[in-house]
Amino acid sequence: MGKISVTIVEDLEEVIEGLSAFIKKDDELQLIAVFRTAEAAALELPLLRPDIVIMDINLPGMTGIECIRRVKQTSPDIQFMMFTVYENNDQVFEALKAGASGYLLKKTPPLQIIESVKELYQGGSPMSASIARKLVSVFVDQNKTTPAPEAAVLSPREKEVLQLVAKGLLYKEIAEQLGISFHTVRQHIGKIYEKLHVQNKTEAINKVYGNRVQ
């Protein structure tokens, strides 16, 4: 397996330098670009198609959340991890609705950031502890497993994959359980997003299993 390609969208030089240094030290990661504005990122990310984008929210001009919305329209496979000082409910939920799959605060230790990038690539949804608590507090009936009518567009295998995602399994764990490759799991996830017209797995689970983030 090749290296996980990573892009940073951040305007603070000290944050860029710190993230870049740790990414470059890790043998599994490859930093392919840095953008200091969301406008530049929105234009170039669909062309670069990195695996993971570490995205700030409060950027000069367009916000990081708006950038995600635009990029996800044409490049739904690109995974976004928010990296910000904001931990209020509105910012968290708007980022997730836009298509972010991870949410870390800037006070997160560097080694945890690197491990979170890898976890996101493997199908996880890494989040700072305080953010995870906020999400748990607003998800109702989290164990509900009866699919909604929207699930009718999915194939039996896609329903199976989504149900395992809803249970919190990583892509590699899903691959092992179903006897398929990691790459095949990612392909199924992409098809699920396309058929359900969603941007990330949080939206997919909400749409099929009825959990709603208000």
Query: Can you spell out the DSSP letters for 109-169?
Result: -HHHHHHHHHHHHTT---B-HHHHHHHHHH--STT-----GGGGGS-HHHHHHHHHHHTT-
pLDDT tens-place string over residues 51-76 = 999 999 999 999 999 999 999 999 98
Instruction: Please state, in angstroms and rounded to a whole number, the distance separating the CA atoms of residues 179 and 181.
Output: 7
- Indicate the pLDDT class of residue 212, thresholds 50, 70 and 90: very low
Instruction: Please state, in angstroms and rounded to a whole number, the distance separating the CA atoms of residues 105 and 4.
Output: 21
**Can you give the residue ranges of every domain in the chain?**
4-137, 149-209
- pLDDT above 60 (res 26): yes
pLDDT tens-place string over residues 84-116 = 888 777 788 888 888 898 899 999 998 999 999
Q: Do domains 4-137 and 149-209 have the same CATH topology?
A: no
CATH class of domain segment(s) 4-137: alpha beta
Fold exhibited by the domain 149-209: Arc Repressor Mutant, subunit A (1.10.10)
pTM of the model: 0.70
Q: Does residue 33 or residue 87 have the better pLDDT?
A: 33
What pLDDT, on the 0 to 100 scale, is given for residue 1? 57
Q: Does residue 24 or residue 138 have the better pLDDT?
A: 24
